[in-house]
C-alpha cells in the first residue's frame, strides 16, 4: 500500500513567470504520474491558485515575448481532474474575499478547526 501524502502549499506565485507554473504544483503532477497518491492543501496566499480565469499573459522584455504564461488555476484543476483531492482552507478564502463561485471545480474547502482530523488521515504531510 503506497503511503498517502498531503502536500500543503502556502507560498504563492514564487517565480511562476519564469517557471511557467508553480513548481510545487508541478511536482505533485509529476509525483502522481509516478504513482504517488498525493493530495494537496492550498492555504494562505496559495488559496488564490484555485480562482478560475487567471491570466498572466503579456509579459515581454524588449522583443522577447512569453508565449506560454503560467496557468496555475488550470494546473490545479488538472490535479483534481486526475484524482487528487485539492483542499482549501475556508478561513483563508474568506480573509481574501474569495467567493465559492470564483473557484475552479473539483476543490474542497475545509475549516481550520478540521485540519487536524484531515492531516491525521495521511501517512505523511509535507509543508512547502
Partner 1 sequence: MAARKILTFAIMDAPYESARSTTALRLIDLALRRGCDVNVFAYEGAVAVPFAKQQPHPNAVHGRSVEEEDHPNPKDWVGALMAEAKKRGLTFNWVQCGLCVDERGATEWIEGPRRGSPADFWKFVEASDNTLVIPTK
| Interface positions, 34-63, toward partner 1 (CB under 8 A) | 59-63
Residue among 107, 92, 2 nearest 46 (CA): 92
Of 24 and 109, nearer to partner 1 (C-beta) is: 24
Of 68 and 105, nearer to partner 1 (C-beta) is: 68
Determine, following the binding rule CB under 8 A, whether residue 15 of this chain makes contact with partner 1.
yes
Of 110 and 128, nearer to partner 1 (C-beta) is: 128
Determine, following the binding rule CB under 8 A, whether residue 29 of this chain makes contact with partner 1.
yes
Determine, following the binding rule CB under 8 A, whether residue 128 of this chain makes contact with partner 1.
no
Q: Angle at CA 15, nearest 5°, toward 93 and 63? A: 125
CA distances from 52 to 22, 63, 79 (A): 15, 29, 14
**DSSP of 10-53, one letter per residue?**
---SSSHHHHSS-HHHHHHHHHHHTT--EEEEE-GGGGGGGBTT
Rounded Cα–Cα distance for residues 98 and 23 (Å): 23
- Measured from the CB of residue 99, what is the shortest distance to partner 1 in angstroms? 25
Rounded Cα–Cα distance for residues 91 and 128 (Å): 19
Candidates 7-15, 41-49, 88-96, 120-128 — which segment interacts with partner 1 by CB under 8 A?
7-15
Contacting residue, 5, 36, 44, 66, with partner 1 by CB under 8 A: 66
Rounded Cα–Cα distance for residues 103 and 60 (Å): 28
Contacting residue, 34, 53, 55, 64, with partner 1 by CB under 8 A: 64
| Site residues (vs partner 1, CB under 8 A) | 13-21, 26, 29-30, 33, 59-64, 66-68
Amino acid at each position: 500500500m503506497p503511503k498517502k501524502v498531503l502536500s500543503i502549499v502556502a507560498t504563492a506565485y514564487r517565480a511562476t513567470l519564469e517557471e511557467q507554473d508553480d513548481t510545487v504544483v508541478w511536482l505533485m503532477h509529476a509525483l502522481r504520474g509516478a504513482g504517488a497518491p498525493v493530495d494537496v492543501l492550498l492555504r494562505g496566499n496559495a488559496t488564490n491558485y484555485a480562482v478560475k480565469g487567471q491570466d498572466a499573459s503579456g509579459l515581454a522584455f524588449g522583443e522577447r515575448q512569453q508565449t506560454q504564461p503560467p496557468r496555475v488555476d488550470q494546473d490545479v484543476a488538472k490535479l483534481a481532474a486526475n484524482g487528487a483531492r485539492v483542499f482549501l482552507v475556508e478561513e483563508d478564502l474568506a480573509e481574501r474575499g474569495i467567493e465559492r463561485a470564483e473557484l475552479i471545480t473539483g476543490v474542497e474547502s475545509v475549516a481550520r478547526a478540521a485540519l487536524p482530523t484531515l492531516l491525521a488521515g495521511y501517512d505523511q504531510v509535507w509543508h512547502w
